[in-house]
A and B are shown apart, each in its own frame.
Chain A
Amino acid sequence: MEDEISKIVIRAAAVSLWYGAKRALSDVTMEIREKCVTAFIGPSGCGKSTFLRLFNRMNDLIEGVRITGSVTIDGTDIYRDSLDVVDLRRKVGMIFQKSNPFPKSVYENVAYGPRIQGIKRKSDLDAIVERCLRQSALWDEVKDGLYHSALGLSGGQQQRLCIARALAVKPEILLMDEPASALDPLSTAKIEELIYTLKTDYTIVIVTHNMQQASRVSDYTAFFYMGELVEYDKTPVMFTSPKLKRTEDYITGRFG
């Protein structure tokens, strides 16, 4: 039933990627649906993070990268020459595996994006900061210490701060590269809860090596192996009756 209602927001067609001579992705074709959580799973080095980074062109920062195929977001080919990459990155936000708050105050971390966009008035910024910190379930914990250094927060709090920071530029899509892998179980649970609430407003793609997390949190799951997309389906289907044996082997823990 979700198929019919939610439209496709990201379309990847026959995408391959090379780091120099080494091929990291082979002919991946898939679609990401709007306001759903899509999880990428697979063993280390299978290309899931690399594929994720295609969506906000963060791979551009690596020297010697070559890409074939097409990636379109909302119908626009994001690899065309005339695309404004800076703008793309505002619309497609990213949360990294290891939280990387700026060595500034909590407030300034969240306000960074809006400031870049030109918002100067303090009242506007205050509103944005509060809104985003509330959205990332961090407001109550930091509201009395907004001007303290972000580096003083715990790992889990820093990661939620990074989420708030990304939300502040009003993205439509959120890419999360193993957002909870460096966190303790309690913080992980909080992040998963957060993902669940965020999906009503944002399209979320999450890379995780934790299959239980994928099954808890996502609506769709894609299994990658050695640079190829092996299987992609609705999460309940993937985890109860996967079509391919390789998928089943990975999910049941026979390798990976």
Chain B
Amino acid sequence: MKASKKATGAGIVLLTGLCAFGIIGVVVFVMGTIIAGGHGMMTWKFLTSAPAQGMTAGGIFPAIVGTFFLVLIMSIVGVPVGTITAIYLSEYVRQDSWIAKSIRFAVNTLAGIPSIVFGLFGLGFFIQFVGRNMDRLFTPEGQLVWGQPCILWASLTMALLTLPVVIVSVEEAVRAVPKELREASLALGATKWETIIRIVLPNSITGILTGGILAVSRGAGEVAPILFTGAAYFLPHLPTKLSDQFMELGYHVYIMSTQSTNVEETAGIQYATTLVLLLLTFALNFSAIYLRYWMRKRSLQ
């Protein structure tokens, strides 16, 4: 081989390798700085107490609670809808029909819409349209209960945002159920619906779980959709009804690091809150990945 060819080859390997390892390096660096800056404040007390002294001390318990309720309501709505859509797509419609194509196109489009636009939708539809009309019908004169930012609308907005994640995950699991099992069930005189309920669904539980976990991870991490649909920086008490506002981890980091009055003093808390958020999404993503790996292994047996 000519020497120049060899040299070019080596250069290319070097360049591409640099890029690849550079990425790995950056990941390590980001995680490192956040862990370094935040682990000091990560105490049990921090996680379980409320902020104090104008946010310069205390903990982030309300933000954790708020995030929890946000993803809880989001999952209660989003996971069933996503699961049903995935089942319908793979069991009931022909893959080349216009129904299948339009649903898939809609799901792909949903997946590509910027998260801030979901926030706008939450505001324009859930709050201004549904909420205000609900107030018109149910709330006494002059009061605004549903026609304003609150955890219900924020959760529903998030459910819409994470719908594609659930659908893709569940569809993968449903398709992985071997056709032989379906055939066996039908050959025994079971109906399509019975086959789905008794055979397909129980064997896709891992996929449903994975989808749910990934959705929760997105839901806990995305801040743009809740900027004006329900999140707040300081609330005197925890959310108790669906029409309450809520504190949230990501939102807390954002406000605290950009708009709080003493950015330097709260630096430790910022890092710690970011670390909590990071660890949370980490744990969720890893369990989803592990579940998916385990599911693939099992279906290959």
Q: Which residues of A contact B (CB under 8 A)?
A: 56, 58, 61, 63, 86-87, 89-91, 93-94, 96, 98, 100-103, 112-113, 116-117, 151, 162, 165-166, 169
- Give the CA-CA distance A166 to B185 in the complex, in Å: 10
B112 in contact (CB, < 8 A): no
The 8 Å CB contact of B203, one of A90, A103, A113, A169, is A103
B190 in contact (CB, < 8 A): yes
CB <8 Å contact, B185 and A117: no
Q: In the complex, which residues of chain A have a beta carbon less than 8 angstroms from the beta carbon of B134?
A: none
CB <8 Å contact, B188 and A90: yes
A97 to chain B, nearest CB (A): 10
A189 to chain B, nearest CB (A): 24
Q: Which residues of B contact A (CB under 8 A)?
A: 94, 178, 180-181, 183-191, 194, 198-199, 203, 301
Q: A102-B199, A112-B198 are in contact. Are A89 and B188 (CB under 8 A)?
A: yes
CB <8 Å contact, A89 and B184: no
Q: In the complex, which residues of chain A have a beta carbon less than 8 angstroms from the beta carbon of B301?
A: 151
The 8 Å CB contact of A100, one of B94, B183, B191, is B183
CB <8 Å contact, A166 and B187: yes
Q: A63-B94, A100-B178, A116-B194 are in contact. Are A89 and B189 (CB under 8 A)?
A: yes
A125 to chain B, nearest CB (A): 15
- Give the CA-CA distance A140 to B176 in the complex, in Å: 34
The 8 Å CB contact of A116, one of B94, B184, B190, is B190
Which A residue's beta carbon lies closest to that of B192? A86
Q: A103-B203, A112-B198, A116-B194 are in contact. Are A96 and B188 (CB under 8 A)?
A: no
Most buried by A among B187, B194, B199: B187
B54 to chain A, nearest CB (A): 58
Which B residue's beta carbon lies closest to that of A168? B188
CB <8 Å contact, B187 and A86: no
6 contacts between A and B (CB under 8 A): A58-B187, A89-B189, A94-B187, A102-B199, A112-B185, A165-B184
6 tightest Cβ-Cβ pairs between the two chains A and B: A90-B189, A100-B180, A94-B187, A113-B188, A100-B184, A89-B189
CB <8 Å contact, A112 and B183: no
Q: In the complex, which residues of chain B have a beta carbon less than 8 angstroms from the beta carbon of A89?
A: 186-189
Which B residue's beta carbon lies closest to that of A115? B198
Q: A96-B183, A100-B183 are in contact. Are A166 and B188 (CB under 8 A)?
A: yes
- Give the CA-CA distance A162 to B189 in the complex, in Å: 14
Q: A58-B183, A100-B183 are in contact. Are A165 and B188 (CB under 8 A)?
A: yes
CB <8 Å contact, A61 and B189: no
A115 to chain B, nearest CB (A): 8
Q: In the complex, which residues of chain B have a beta carbon less than 8 angstroms from the beta carbon of A90?
A: 188-189
